Amino acid sequence: MSTPRIDINLGKIAHNAKVLSSLFQSKGINIIVVTKGVCGHPHIANILVKSGVKILADSRIANIKKMQEAGVKATFLLIRTPMISQAESVVLDTDMSLNSELSVIKKLSEFAILHGKVHKIILMVELGDLREGIVPSLLENTIKKVLALKGIKLQGIGTNLACFSGVKPTTEKMDMLSTIAVSIEKKFHIKLSIISGGNSANYNWFSTTKDVGRINNLRLGESIFLGYEPLTGKPIPKLHQDAFMLVAEVIELKNKSSVPNGEIGLDSFGNKPKFKDQGMIRRAILAMGVQDVMVTGLTPKLDIEILGAGGDHIIINAKKEDLKVGSDVSFTLKYGALVTAMNSSYISKNIITPISAAAYCAIIEEKDRLHKKNTATMPINEDHTPLISLQDSDFNLIFEKSIQKNYRYLVRKEVYKKIGRISKLLDNLGKKLIIRSAWRSFEHQQKLWDQKASFMKKKYPKKTAEEINEIVSMFIAPKRQSTHATGGAVDALIYDLRKKCVMDFGTNDGLHIDLNKKCYPKHPDISEEAKKNRKLLIKLFEDEDFVCDHKEYWHFDYGNIGWAVEKNKEYANYGILKESYVQSATLNYPDKVFFYL
Ligand SMILES: *Cc1c(COP(=O)(O)O)cnc(C)c1O
């Protein structure tokens, strides 16, 4: 995919919008989403509207027109108080605007009359941040004149804090706005339908206040798109901070000194650069610079350090990260970086659309069909590595009870070591790996199949044997096809020692798993918690070079045909180990290790 690019995850944006919308709604506050940070990108605007947002706001008429021309169906609010020279366009191209100058409002009135329109306005009140707004003592005078203008409807009042001067929207400030609203309504016998208390920076006030007073509206940009509270920079619970990711490519990677060699003058921006001596370092150059994005607003996902940037380059200390020329390097963005990246014509906008459950399942089923076809022809070059019982290890593991008597949870030696490392990582997280199943004999596999088939027969008495087989085979492999017979497959879950329960993976109640399509690892319709937990489980195994099954988030393969197909190997290392082999091996080696004969 082309770089530099910004990956825009519409599903995550929609999620953030829905979470914040219902949070603020719980105390009677409606939200307007401010699209200036994404330059009024129509796909983003559409997903916001689909998520229930009714009013979209932007500081630029050009962005509003872009959304309208793309067919976005919303009410459009202009939030930068208008230039008098653009008054006609404001009336024609927007539905509502924030205002603070009577001369401008008069011009809006003239054009509204000319075009037979009514333009709605929200009067901005200055409460200390010293950007736009009428000082409270002069507000009544302005309102008296506004109410006399034809073609103008006073929709409400608002304020904007935490921008120019960083003044916090405290309870005191919000109460002040409420009091002003009440007194205006009383004095002029009008109803103000919008009392707009501010922007994303109002989050902490909202979370801590008992009474929001008359405030019934907020205009949110940053918190919806980036999931942060701007005054403290802290992530807002339940929101995604990575709905936008900026990706740049490595064009040079060399070991060089951390300090320059020569006499130092001004750099290309007229500043005197400073350098920290870290000796020789792995310096990488990325093909992206301050001409593309506000580099100071980038946070790398990897453990690397941004050393500096020029117009076209970002220089990083690659530290120990596995980068090479051509590698992608990803960053999350702060607001300034988001705005500049979205506005850069050099950065391509890569829209990631949320996938419906049905579409996802169809893709997975097709992948799985292909996978099965390829495993059937994958050659096996058996490496004769032994089976070892996980029960004989001193790893911290929990073993799920098996229907097979004297089950020993056998895996290949390499898999045994990998499980050991995974269990150690979990120890540090206050968690324990649950081993549900490992090597299974044909007899064991048949038992599982029969048990499921009889359960399904009871559940669906009208279905034919063939239909039952089809359902069962969705999740249980026929004995000869199961990779569990190789000693390279492990079924695992995670136990949370602090919460004293099996983690929630979306289809399980403790150890019991409901077998249905939501077991497909990345099914979109499971809770955020379950998604996070599956991610953890799968990452632990993938980091050890296992592959996760397409349909079962708990099943992992290494070394066998399932693994070889997914990893594009020429052959698999682990073939089927039959019961008879393992048994005779047990006789020869009665203690811990069983050898394949
Ligand atoms: C930018 C802006 C907002 C949105 O601010 P965020 O911090 O992105 O939520 C709201 N109101 C006005 C007047 C603005 O200019």
Within a domain: residue 451?
A: no
* Residue after which a domain boundary falls, among 334, 352, 370: 352
**What is the pLDDT, as a whole number, of residue 171?**
96
**What is the pLDDT, as a whole number, of residue 539?**
97
**What is the pLDDT, as a whole number, of residue 136?**
97
Is the domain of 495 the same as that of 558? yes
Q: What is the CATH number of the domain that holds 588?
A: 3.30.1380.10
Is the domain of 339 the same as that of 300? yes
Q: What is the CATH number of the domain that holds 118?
A: 3.20.20.10
Query: Taking Cα atoms as reference points, which of 557, 539, 541 lies closest to residue 549?
Result: 557
Bridge partners (DSSP) of residue 253 are 284
Is the pLDDT confidence value at 587 over 60? no
Measure the CA dihedral 104/105/106/109, to 10°. Answer: 130
Cβ of residue 217 lying under 6 Å from some atom of ligand 1: no
Is the domain of 146 the same as that of 17? yes
Is the domain of 158 the same as that of 207? yes
> Residue 165: which domain range?
11-226
Is the pLDDT confidence value at 356 over 50? yes
Is the domain of 75 the same as that of 179? yes
Determine the distance separating the centroid of ligand 1 and the alpha carbon of 358, expressed in angstroms: 37
**What is the pLDDT, as a whole number, of residue 596?**
47
Is the pLDDT confidence value at 591 over 50? no
Kind of pairing between the strands at 314-317 and 280-286: antiparallel
The answer to whether the beta carbons of residues 112 and 151 sit under 8 Å apart is: yes
Is the domain of 119 the same as that of 94? yes
Within a domain: residue 523?
A: yes
Q: What values do phi and psi take at 350, rounded to 5?
A: -105, 105
Domains identified in the chain, total number? 3
329 Ramachandran zone, left/alpha/beta (phi>0; psi -120 to 50): beta
* Residue after which a domain boundary falls, among 331, 352, 373: 352
Which residue, by CA, sits nearest to atom 12 of ligand 1? 79
Within a domain: residue 168?
A: yes
pLDDT digit string (tens) for 62-109? 999 999 999 999 999 999 999 999 999 999 999 999 999 999 999 999
Is the domain of 123 the same as that of 48? yes
Query: Taking Cα atoms as reference points, which of 70, 73, 109 lies closest to residue 90?
Result: 109
Q: Which residues are within 8 A (CB) of 373 and not within 5 positions of it... i.e. 6 or more apart?
A: none
Report which ligand 1 atom has the smallest distance to the Cα of 162.
Answer: 7
Helices (H), 240-396: 335-343, 357-377
**What is the pLDDT, as a whole number, of residue 267?**
82
Within a domain: residue 532?
A: yes
Q: Which residues are within 8 A (CB) of 216 and not within 5 positions of it... i.e. 6 or more apart?
A: 28, 29, 30, 194, 195
Give, for ligand 1, the residue of 78, 94, 199 to mutate: max count of ligand atoms closer than 8 Å to Cβ. 199
Determine the distance separating the centroid of ligand 1 and the alpha carbon of 473, expressed in angstroms: 54
Bridge partners (DSSP) of residue 283 are 254, 317
Is the domain of 164 the same as that of 250? no
What string of DSSP letters covers 499-520? TTEEPP-SSEETTEE--SGGGS
Q: What is the CATH number of the domain that holds 318?
A: 2.40.30
Is the pLDDT confidence value at 592 over 80? no
Mean pLDDT across 232-236: 94
Is the pLDDT confidence value at 369 over 90? yes
CB count within 10 Å of CB 492 equals 24
Kind of pairing between the strands at 75-78 and 55-58: parallel
**What is the pLDDT, as a whole number, of residue 86?**
97
Give, for ligand 1, the residue of 98, 160, 228 to mutate: max count of ligand atoms closer than 8 Å to Cβ. 160
**What is the pLDDT, as a whole number, of residue 8?**
98
Report which ligand 1 atom has the smallest distance to the Cα of 223.
Answer: 9
Cβ of residue 222 lying under 6 Å from some atom of ligand 1: yes
Determine the distance separating the centroid of ligand 1 and the alpha carbon of 36, expressed in angstroms: 8
Mean pLDDT across 108-115: 98
- pTM of the predicted model as reported, rounded to 2 decimal places: 0.75
Is the domain of 70 the same as that of 115? yes
Within a domain: residue 553?
A: yes
Report which ligand 1 atom has the smallest distance to the Cα of 218.
Answer: 10
Within a domain: residue 445?
A: no
Which residue in the list 18, 27, 36, 173 is annotated as catalytic?
36
Identity of the residue numbered 25: Q
First vs last Cα of the chain: how many Å apart? 48
Is the domain of 506 the same as that of 540? yes
Cβ of residue 199 lying under 6 Å from some atom of ligand 1: yes
Taking each helix axis as running N to C, give the angle between helix 442-459 and helix 465-473, from 0 to 180 degrees, rounded to the nearest 10.
120
> Which has the minimum average pLDDT: 324-333, 417-426, 474-483?
474-483
pLDDT-based confidence at residue 586 (cuts at 50, 70, 90): low
Residue with tokens 């029960």: 391
**What is the pLDDT, as a whole number, of residue 406?**
87
Cβ of residue 573 lying under 6 Å from some atom of ligand 1: no
Mean pLDDT across 297-316: 96
Question: Is 36 a catalytic site residue?
Answer: yes
Q: Which residues are within 8 A (CB) of 450 and not within 5 positions of it... i.e. 6 or more apart?
A: none
Mean pLDDT, all residues of the chain: 94
pLDDT digit string (tens) for 153-199? 999 999 999 988 889 999 999 999 999 999 999 999 999 999 999 99
Structure tokens at 206: 């909202």
CA–CA separation, 570 vs 169, rounded Å?
63
Determine the distance separating the centroid of ligand 1 and the alpha carbon of 137, expressed in angstroms: 24
pLDDT digit string (tens) for 10-46? 999 999 999 999 999 999 999 999 999 999 999 999 9
CB count within 10 Å of CB 88 equals 15
CA distances from 478 to 406, 435, 447 (A): 22, 21, 11
Report which ligand 1 atom has the smallest distance to the Cα of 124.
Answer: 13
Is the domain of 27 the same as that of 113? yes
CA–CA separation, 221 vs 78, rounded Å?
14
* Residue after which a domain boundary falls, among 308, 329, 352: 352
Identity of the residue numbered 518: K
Query: Taking Cα atoms as reference points, which of 331, 307, 330, 333 lies closest to residue 319?
Result: 307
CA–CA separation, 61 vs 91, rounded Å?
11
**What is the pLDDT, as a whole number, of residue 584?**
63
Within a domain: residue 477?
A: no
Is the domain of 429 the same as that of 575? yes
Query: Taking Cα atoms as reference points, which of 55, 37, 27, 353 lies closest to residue 223?
Result: 37
Within a domain: residue 265?
A: no
pLDDT digit string (tens) for 525-576? 999 899 999 999 999 999 999 999 999 999 999 999 999 999 999 999 999 9
Determine the distance separating the centroid of ligand 1 and the alpha carbon of 34, expressed in angstroms: 6
pLDDT digit string (tens) for 242-269? 999 999 999 999 999 999 998 888 888 8
Query: Taking Cα atoms as reference points, which of 406, 275, 249, 265 lies closest to residue 331?
Result: 249
Tell me 380's DSSP state: B
The answer to whether the beta carbons of residues 133 and 176 sit under 8 Å apart is: no
CA–CA separation, 472 vs 469, rounded Å?
5
Cβ of residue 219 lying under 6 Å from some atom of ligand 1: yes
CA–CA separation, 537 vs 434, rounded Å?
11
Kindly tell me the burial class for residue 63, based on how many C-beta atoms sit within 10 Å of its own C-beta (0-12, 13-18, 19 or more): buried
Determine the distance separating the centroid of ligand 1 and the alpha carbon of 79, expressed in angstroms: 8
Cβ of residue 221 lying under 6 Å from some atom of ligand 1: yes
Kind of pairing between the strands at 593-594 and 387-389: antiparallel
